[in-house]
Amino acid sequence: MALLLSLLLLFSIGVSQEAQLATPAVSSRAAEEALSASVKVETIRDVVTALSADDMQGRGTMQPGGDKAADYLADRFAKLGLKPLGEKGSFFQPIKFRETQFLPETSFKAGKETLELGRDFVVTPPFNGDKNVSGDLVFIAYGLISSTPRRNDLANIDVRGKMVVLLEGPPKVVSKKDWKDAKVQIDILRSLVLLGAAGLIFVNTGTDEHPYSEMADYLTRRQIERADKEEMPSFLPPFVTLSNEAAAKLFTNSGSTFAEALAKAELEGFKPFSLKKSATITVKLKKAKGTSNNVVALLEGSDPKLKAEALVYSAHYDAFGVSADKRIYHGAADNGLGVGEMIAVAEAFSQAATRPRRSIIFLAVTGEEYGGYGSDFWVKNPTWKIKQVAADLNFDGMGTEVYGPVKTLVGYGAEHSTLGTLLESVANAQGLTVITDPMPEEKSFYRSDHYFFVKKGVPGLMILGAPGGPVSEWTKRLKEWEKTDYHQPTDTIRPEWDWQGPRTLAMLSAVMGMRLANNEQMPSWLPNSPFNRERGTSEPPPPEP
Ligand SMILES: [Zn+2]
């Protein structure tokens, strides 16, 4: 027994000495290959399956399903042997939120018509309290008073106590850029409020890409804001947006059809006119306060000096939760996949033979869908010195990586920092092609968690993975999916998904992370990037396009 034990001891010492000796001899290329090979497709599938299951209730911010998902992720981090990096020695970083929901009493009556919330009208932010206002309806086109173009949309009219029907600018003769740069819209709204308008009713909104129905869908869901966000003053009139069908009803018997009114609104000599009926808007809100958590884990680096610096992997785990009518927003592609990829990377690193020199933080954030609240909170209340955050590699997307074997990549943010050249070199070595953003109109760079790091001076990157072949083929599929499933209860796992795609994306991100963690220098901004600012900066970011 004793002999056997000592032999076993000797044997195990021998093995471990050998392993220790072998480690430094392992080339970084081999270490990268080993790391990438240990990224498990089963892990990605397990995580996505668990997070998008009915019992996770769409992982809603400030909902029990969100808490359940946070517990699940903390448990996975713990099982990988990662250290908690939240508050009070836990994996959780709590954030206080405020929820607003419309009660069924919310209504809009115009003349004899009663409009339906969602289908015919929506109340737009600010949601600053209950309202019950009435007044005569007047159409003021854009509400613009200017010399070029020569307009006085408020000529001979007193908007005090009126329900003002207006168009969002600019008029066709003014460029969108000029309108935005001169902040004309906000000036118009401010003056209408100061002149005492009882209600502001927007008509003819929406574009082909983003129709009224899409806005209505979002604005009738429960709304989430940070609890510490100052509420707008309650004296503000209600802001309401109408569908075109509902708008047409406001114009009946006014002497102008809706179409005629829209045509008149473009003319320099436009004169405001009464719609010869009155309207009543009632807004009834239910407000609640609560908490949701970021889930933060740490893999400590091996280098005595460099371990004080950390690379962050981020992915939002929230989806839209469960609605008042019990529909579950499963969020499988957005962003179960991203979280699954991040967990697979965490698993590979935590089981690797050699630890990276820098530390690595795995940050699963909440509240992304309502405006990146979780990552915004973390960069402003970081659980690691922000000046020592090397970079953020963010996983978020719309599931293009399951369309087939990933061959094509888009790096959102690649043009701003040395993360772009790193992406290029790792991708090329793996036979993947990095292309420029084929959908710049989506402004994806500004729409996920990495951007909050970027604004704080930390280089950030979000990578989209897509199949080979013509780009137009997968962008077409994506555009279709956006119309039917994106941010809808139907964003679920599909049998046709190719799970090797997300694995490829995770492998690439793992190798990039290894280089970022082992390089002597942290990545840097390209000198002429508008985001080239110090880590932790509190300077306002450059304006969004
Ligand atoms: Zn997302």
pLDDT digits (tens, 9 = 90+) for 449-488: 999 999 999 999 999 999 999 999 999 999 999 999 999 9
Kindly give the distance from the C-alpha atom of residue 371 to the centroid of ligand 1, in angstroms, as a whole number. 10
Run of H or E residues at 419: helix 419-429
The token pair at 210 is 């983003």
Report DSSP state, residue 337.
Answer: I
The token pair at 506 is 């995770």
Alpha-carbon distance 320 to 332, whole Å? 11
Phi-psi region at 426: left, alpha or beta (left = phi > 0; alpha = psi -120 to 50)? alpha
Digits of tens for pLDDT over the chain (545 positions)?
233 333 333 333 333 333 333 333 345 889 999 999 999 999 999 999 999 999 999 999 999 999 999 999 999 999 999 999 999 999 999 999 999 999 999 999 999 999 999 999 999 988 888 999 999 999 999 999 999 999 999 999 999 999 999 999 999 999 999 999 999 999 999 999 999 999 999 999 988 888 999 999 999 999 999 998 888 888 899 999 999 999 999 999 999 999 999 999 999 999 999 999 999 999 999 999 999 999 999 999 999 999 999 999 999 999 999 998 899 999 999 999 999 999 999 999 999 999 999 999 999 999 999 999 999 999 999 999 999 999 999 999 899 999 999 999 999 999 999 999 999 999 999 999 999 999 998 899 999 999 999 999 999 999 999 999 999 999 999 999 999 999 999 999 999 999 999 999 999 999 999 999 999 999 999 999 999 999 999 999 998 88
Kindly give the distance from the C-alpha atom of residue 396 to the centroid of ligand 1, in angstroms, as a whole number. 5
Alpha-carbon distance 311 to 20, whole Å? 26
pLDDT on residue 10: 30
Which are the contacts of 467, defined by CB distance < 8 A and separation ≥ 6? 400, 403, 404, 405, 406, 407, 408, 473, 474, 501
Q: What is the pTM of this model?
A: 0.88
Kindly give the distance from the C-alpha atom of residue 413 to the centroid of ligand 1, in angstroms, as a whole number. 16
pLDDT on residue 27: 54
Residue 311's closest CA among 417, 456, 458? 458
CB 272 within 8 Å of CB 141: yes
Kindly give the distance from the C-alpha atom of residue 536 to the centroid of ligand 1, in angstroms, as a whole number. 25
Alpha-carbon distance 355 to 384, whole Å? 19
Count of H helices and E strands in the chain? 15, 20
Kindly give the distance from the C-alpha atom of residue 229 to the centroid of ligand 1, in angstroms, as a whole number. 23
Kindly give the distance from the C-alpha atom of residue 77 to the centroid of ligand 1, in angstroms, as a whole number. 21
CB 390 within 8 Å of CB 516: yes
Alpha-carbon distance 396 to 464, whole Å? 8
- In this structure, the strands spanning 273-283 and 223-226 are unpaired
pLDDT on residue 28: 84
Residue 262's closest CA among 214, 210, 205, 211? 205
CA distances from 452 to 31, 251, 312, 374, 500 (A): 31, 44, 12, 10, 29
Longest Cα separation, the chain:
106
Sign of the CA dihedral with 162 first, then 168, 170, and 173 last: negative
Which are the contacts of 311, defined by CB distance < 8 A and separation ≥ 6? 356, 358, 359, 360, 361, 389, 390, 391, 393, 513, 516, 517
Kindly give the distance from the C-alpha atom of residue 400 to the centroid of ligand 1, in angstroms, as a whole number. 12
State the residue for tokens 């698993």: 347
Question: Backbone phi, then psi, for 264, in 5-degree steps?
Answer: -60, -35
Kindly give the distance from the C-alpha atom of residue 219 to the centroid of ligand 1, in angstroms, as a whole number. 18
Phi-psi region at 129: left, alpha or beta (left = phi > 0; alpha = psi -120 to 50)? left
Kindly give the distance from the C-alpha atom of residue 509 to the centroid of ligand 1, in angstroms, as a whole number. 17
Report DSSP state, residue 230.
Answer: P
Neighbours of 494 (CB within 10 A): 12
Kindly give the distance from the C-alpha atom of residue 337 to the centroid of ligand 1, in angstroms, as a whole number. 10
Kindly give the distance from the C-alpha atom of residue 397 to the centroid of ligand 1, in angstroms, as a whole number. 5
Kindly give the distance from the C-alpha atom of residue 160 to the centroid of ligand 1, in angstroms, as a whole number. 43
Alpha-carbon distance 400 to 246, whole Å? 37
Alpha-carbon distance 449 to 458, whole Å? 12
Alpha-carbon distance 101 to 533, whole Å? 39
Kindly give the distance from the C-alpha atom of residue 334 to the centroid of ligand 1, in angstroms, as a whole number. 5
Amino acid, res. 543: P
Kindly give the distance from the C-alpha atom of residue 227 to the centroid of ligand 1, in angstroms, as a whole number. 22
Kindly give the distance from the C-alpha atom of residue 448 to the centroid of ligand 1, in angstroms, as a whole number. 7
Kindly give the distance from the C-alpha atom of residue 27 to the centroid of ligand 1, in angstroms, as a whole number. 36
Quickly list DSSP for 472-508. Answer: HHHHHHHHHHHHHTTTSTT----TT--THHHHHHHHH
Kindly give the distance from the C-alpha atom of residue 402 to the centroid of ligand 1, in angstroms, as a whole number. 15
First and final C-alpha spacing in the chain: 75
Amino acid, res. 210: H
Kindly give the distance from the C-alpha atom of residue 108 to the centroid of ligand 1, in angstroms, as a whole number. 33
Kindly give the distance from the C-alpha atom of residue 281 to the centroid of ligand 1, in angstroms, as a whole number. 34
Kindly give the distance from the C-alpha atom of residue 323 to the centroid of ligand 1, in angstroms, as a whole number. 18
Alpha-carbon distance 339 to 342, whole Å? 5
Run of H or E residues at 305: none
Kindly give the distance from the C-alpha atom of residue 321 to the centroid of ligand 1, in angstroms, as a whole number. 13
